[in-house]
């Protein structure tokens, strides 16, 4: 079912990009639970599982139904473009207990038996305790699983924003939004987003927050409800090369499997790139690079997305597995 966001005239003036360490913390917890999200993160997962063994993630998983409402008070859109985790978790701790209880009850109802579980009963009976316990749980996840890698994650997120800001200047908002994630379509002032649920919102002059995320792949989220600012969370560009060693060398085994040219092209795609850029970087003819890219894409090792007149290629999870020998 689609998610529909309707823009008015003032909304075009109030769109902004943002990064949220709190959001990434939430999504790390979700990724550990969902195998379909593991494709881009095998190296991180090996480390994270060992660290996560010391954490009790059950309470947070209880509020992450596959279908249905997720409590928005736990990960509201960031108020500014570069909020720190400390600022965001302080806002969570300051949540109104009554509003948080209602939001949480709606989420618990999406999972059979969750409201009657020990956690569910305790939270609904004492929402102040619930706010405190869940904020503590998120803070522990942040320090254990996210903060050690945050400089690397932040660099990728900021690079995504820089790229899409340039695209915004080149093609305008109506041109950018269909490019920003698969399943996004723009027509007559309405953004349609492919989504597992059905959602519709008129932005009413509040604009839209565009927020890249490392761990949300392959999903796109656009269901924040009032009083939160409308937000579109989408997979960041370049996650295919995020956890690589970045030494620039082409593995010998990959050369034997794919041939030197195709192996070099796959190795060079640490971040999304087009044919001309790769040809220049590898000192190969553009026609040769184009042929290699076509074969790698048809084999499922690359994905291709169009940005205006350019087509950018990026490794798929299968391509990453081949690169890393997973």
The pairing of strands 2-6 and 209-213 is unpaired
Structure confidence at residue 325 as a pLDDT band (50, 70, 90): low
The residue that leads in pLDDT, 137 or 65, is: 137
Structure confidence at residue 163 as a pLDDT band (50, 70, 90): confident
- Inter-residue contact 184 to 177 (CB < 8 Å): yes
CATH number of 244-324: 1.10.10.10
pTM of the model: 0.78
CB neighbourhood size of 212 (10 A): 28
d(CA 36, CA 52): 19
Run of H or E including 18: none
Predicted pLDDT at 245: 59
191 phi/psi in degrees, rounded to 5: -95, 120
pLDDT in tens, 293-318: 988 888 888 888 877 677 888 888 77
Q: Where are the domains of the chain?
A: 2-18+153-237, 21-151, 244-324
Structure confidence at residue 279 as a pLDDT band (50, 70, 90): confident
Helix 85-93, helix 21-33: angle, nearest 10: 80
Tokens of residue 166, six digits: 């340039």
């Amino acid at each position: 079912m689609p998610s529909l966001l309707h823009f008015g005239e003032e909304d075009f003036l109030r769109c902004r990009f943002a990064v949220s360490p709190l959001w990434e913390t939430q999504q790390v917890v979700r990724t550990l639970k969902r195998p379909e999200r593991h494709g881009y993160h095998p190296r991180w997962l090996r480390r994270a599982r060992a660290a996560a063994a010391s954490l009790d993630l059950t309470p947070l998983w209880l509020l992450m139904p596959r279908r249905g409402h997720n409590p928005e008070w736990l990960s509201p859109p960031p108020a500014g473009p570069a909020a720190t985790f400390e600022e965001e978790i302080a806002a969570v701790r300051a949540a109104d207990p009554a509003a948080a209880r209602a939001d949480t009850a709606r989420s618990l109802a999406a999972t059979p038996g969750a409201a009657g579980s020990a956690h569910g009963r305790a939270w609904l009976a004492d929402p102040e305790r619930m706010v405190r316990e869940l904020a503590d749980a998120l803070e522990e996840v942040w320090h254990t699983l996210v903060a050690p890698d945050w400089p690397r994650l932040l660099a990728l997120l900021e690079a995504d924003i820089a790229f899409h800001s340039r695209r915004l200047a080149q093609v305008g908002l109506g041109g950018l939004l269909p490019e920003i994630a698969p399943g996004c379509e723009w027509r007559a002032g309405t953004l349609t987003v492919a989504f597992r649920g059905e959602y519709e919102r008129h932005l009413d002059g509040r604009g839209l927050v565009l927020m890249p995320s490392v761990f949300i792949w392959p999903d796109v989220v656009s269901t924040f409800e009032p009083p939160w600012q409308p937000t579109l969370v989408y997979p960041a560009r370049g996650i295919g090369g995020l956890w690589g060693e970045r030494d620039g060398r082409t593995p010998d085994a990959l050369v034997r499997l794919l041939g030197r040219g195709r192996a070099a092209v796959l190795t060079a795609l640490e971040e999304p790139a087009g044919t001309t850029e790769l040809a220049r970087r590898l000192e190969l003819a553009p026609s040769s690079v184009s042929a290699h890219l076509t074969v790698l894409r048809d084999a499922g090792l690359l994905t291709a997305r169009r940005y205006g007149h350019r087509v950018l290629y990026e490794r798929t999870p299968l391509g990453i597995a081949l690169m890393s020998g997973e």
